[in-house]
Amino acid sequence: NATLDVQAIRERFPILHQEVNGKPLVYFDNAATNQKPDTVIESLDNYYRKDNSNIHRGAHTLADRATAEYEDTRKALKDFVNANEAEEIIFTRGTTEGINLVVQTYGRMVLAQGDEVIISAMEHHSNIVPWQMLCEERGAILKVIPITDEGEIIMEEYLKLLSPKTKIVATCHASNALGTVNPVEEIIAHAHKAGAKVLIDGAQSCAHLPLDVQALDVDFFVGSAHKMYGPTGTGFLYGKRELLEAMPPFMGGGEMIKEVTFEKTTYNDIPYKFEPGTPNIGDVIAFKKAVDFINETGKETIAAHEEALLAYATEKISAIKGVTIVGQATHKVGVLSFVIDNLHHFDVGMMLDAKGVAVRTGHHCTQPLMARFGLEGTVRASFAVYNTKDEVDTLIEGVERLAKLANR
């Protein structure tokens, strides 16, 4: 593994160089959204200064340029997840839209009364609610894989849930609230044996874990650009060609058609069938710069750096009296969730913010998971490539001070 020059990386993130409440900003809310390197910001600026134009309806130079760049991002994502073809990458607004797209098209196509969908106990609301809505509509049943106290899926329980009634299994690759990395390869293989298709929510894995949709043999995989050092408002869905081709469109409109008469419309080929209307062109183009940034820095290098920060923070914070870490899986991404005895997580967040430290507090859009642990919420610090050991020390000092105050 190449070692990371964190200071050189930090130079490329303008937002990090500011004070908050009179203290240097320590940004540990990366699981919510991470910050953007210079190349992403410059791409957005460049697009609106030089290339802004509507795509796929060319006839002039700017439109051709914007179209080529937009499609370049698709190719970059194809390589990033190792899809077989670029047409298997659909641009979305993000993970949430990707999941809803699959629910409303593939889900509606296959789910009948009495059928079952399996999710896990650690899902984000965006991988719960859309399935619940569909199951309600279809008279289908939503089943939940239980987890251990450490925050790991109980594989034997999952196997018990699988049956010929299972049509879809949907789980996260990594949990945003606990950091747990799920054994998705195993989950997918078992689902396929039962005849079910699998959607993996990659929101928390795209920027941290190696991805190979073909090796995983996953049917659908979704992610958000804004959690990959890219812009908000865009993301992607990977789907296997034969599934995407069999699925009905998600939304109707321009661009997704071959021919329209008032009697009948024929639909465009994939990926355009799923991209109606003028898309988020500028952000999609800048998304490529984010993918380039991850590739150039190196996934393994990034992962090793974040793992080291997590290991250090875990060791120090778990040693503080009155502090409990929530989620102690063997394999984790750089997410550290914790609670302090006698202190509300909101107050911890506010007091850390006063020291310039940005963490997330609350239920992290995983209310059923919080209920599993008998909690309303946690404090969550999540790490990215530009974070340093010194910053972790600032967090540790803050938590030590607060835990001491609350537990004298």
- Residues of this chain that bind ligand PMP (CB under 6 A): 94-96, 124, 126-127, 172, 176, 201, 203-204, 224, 365
Q: Which of 194, 201, 234, 203 is nearest to 218 (CA)?
A: 201
Q: How far is the CB of 204 from ligand PMP (least distance, A)?
A: 5
Nearest-approach distance from CB 404 to ligand PMP, in angstroms: 31
CB of 206 to ligand PMP, least distance (A): 10
Q: What sign for the dihedral angle of Cα 22, 23, 28, 34?
A: positive
Angle at 220 between CA 214 and CA 223, to 5 degrees: 100
Question: Which positions ≥6 away from 96 have C-beta within 8 Å?
Answer: 126, 224
Nearest residue (CB) to ligand PMP, 320 versus 359: 359
* Side chain identity at residue 25, one-letter code: L
Residue 66: left if φ>0, alpha if ψ -120 to 50, beta else—which one?
Answer: alpha
Q: How far is the CB of 19 from ligand PMP (least distance, A)?
A: 27
Quote the least distance from Cβ 282 to ligand PMP, whole Å.
18
Q: Which pair of structure tokens corresponds to residue 79?
A: 């390589």
Tell whether omega for the bond before 183 is within 30 degrees of 0, i.e. cis.
Answer: no
Residue 119 or 365 with smaller CB distance to ligand PMP: 365
Q: In this structure, are residues 221 and 95 in contact, taking their beta carbons and an 8 Å threshold?
A: no
The catalytic residues are: 365
8 A C-beta contact, residue 119 and residue 131: yes
Q: How far is Cα 316 from Cα 336, in angstroms, rounded to an integer?
A: 12
Three-state DSSP class for residue 311: helix
Q: How far is the CB of 126 from ligand PMP (least distance, A)?
A: 4
Q: How many CB atoms lie within 10 A of CB 362?
A: 17
Q: Where are the beta strands (DSSP E) in 232-354?
A: 235-239, 257-260, 265-267, 323-326, 335-340
C-beta of 221 vs 396, nearer to ligand PMP:
221
Name the nearest CA neighbour of 247 among 197, 212, 195: 197
For the chain, what is the total number of helices (H) and then of strands (E)?
A: 15, 17
